[in-house]
Structure 1
Amino acid sequence: MQDEVDKLARQWAAAGMAPAAITRVELSKRVSRLALRHEQAMKVALSELGLTYAEFDVLAALRRAGGPLRPSELTRSLFLTSGGTSNVLQRLTTAGYVAREANADDARGRWVRLTSSGESITDKAMAASTRVHEELLAGIPDKTIRAAADALREITAVTDRRR
């Protein structure tokens, strides 16, 4: 099966690019294309719930944690800036999806937790995310998806250490 990246690879080869370099560029191009398609589909699905992707990320992180988190923990785990986290939390608080509470151990600190309506919207968003993944990857054998996920784990383990 050929794709648009194969066409580019042939052009790079004709231009004299080394085969190993072409393979690396093919990987990044395909990962970027998949991420873009995923992001576009998620934006549509989440907008139907009145959420942005950043808001979904925060809600999902709180749901996974099973309890309150500090804003700094959300910032680190979601690769947001502290200002970005603050803005998202403000919108989610205004919407009634999260509540901020005083941290008894640190007078300057706060805890963030899901409200009951936050849990409900998060469950709906998680179901939408599952549908997006199923639709995006429909027709691809599970073993192919598993192999790709395992290969990307190896790659990201190395690239993440370089930061």
Structure 2
Amino acid sequence: MAPDAIARLSLGKRASRLADQVEQATKAELAELGLTYAEFDVLAALRRAGGPLRPSELTRSVLLTSGGTSNVLQRLVAAGYVEREADQGDARGRWVRLTDTGAAVTDQGMAASARAYEDVLAGIPAGAIAAAADALREIVAVTDRRRRR
């Protein structure tokens, strides 16, 4: 096998392994808040948006199925973290927005996520992390452009 092929395989395997390590650490941190990874993902998407979103926008943003998004939203409504409201311009449409309690738990989830990253990446020099992030940014920019074609 050619060296460049081995490097490509190695890149994919290492990126996947690191992503899995961070995801597992994040899930453990979020569990202490009573949140699943998917619930936090939806809350974080709403927080980033800065205002209400339609369920379909959430589905696209967090890469869930519409049924998955609906299930997560039901749990978040029951917990008091989000509210659904009618779209005044479209009788069939709905908006989803964070409650004050939801915004607070999202902030706690963000801190938990940051702790997970810190734990996984502890002891790695900041320069190595920055270099890897820069290299991956460049690679993902190319692969994203190819996927949009």
Normalising to structure 2: TM-score of the pair? 0.93
Does residue 134 of the first structure (1) align with residue 134 of the second (2)?
Answer: no
Give the deviation of 1:162 after TM superposition.
3.5
Gaps of 5+ in 2: none
Among candidates 49, 65, 82, match of residue 65 of structure 1: 49
Among candidates 72, 77, 86, match of residue 61 of structure 2: 77
Work out the CA distance in 1 between the residues paired with 2:68 and 2:38.
Answer: 9
Q: Secondary structure of 2:53's match?
A: coil
Work out the CA distance in 2 between the residues paired with 1:132 and 1:150.
Answer: 21
Q: Secondary structure of 2:9's match?
A: helix
Does residue 19 of the first structure (1) align with residue 3 of the second (2)?
Answer: yes
Number of positions where the alignment pairs a residue of Structure 1 with one of Structure 2:
147
Q: Secondary structure of 1:109's match?
A: strand
Identity of aligned residues (%): 74
Q: How do residues 13-52 of structure 1 correspond to structure 2 at under 5 angstroms?
A: 17-52=1-36
Give the deviation of 1:129 after TM superposition.
0.7
Among candidates 87, 91, 97, match of residue 71 of structure 2: 87
- Alignment root-mean-square deviation, CA: 1.1
Gaps of 5+ in 1: 1-16
Work out the CA distance in 2 between the residues paired with 1:78 and 1:157.
Answer: 19
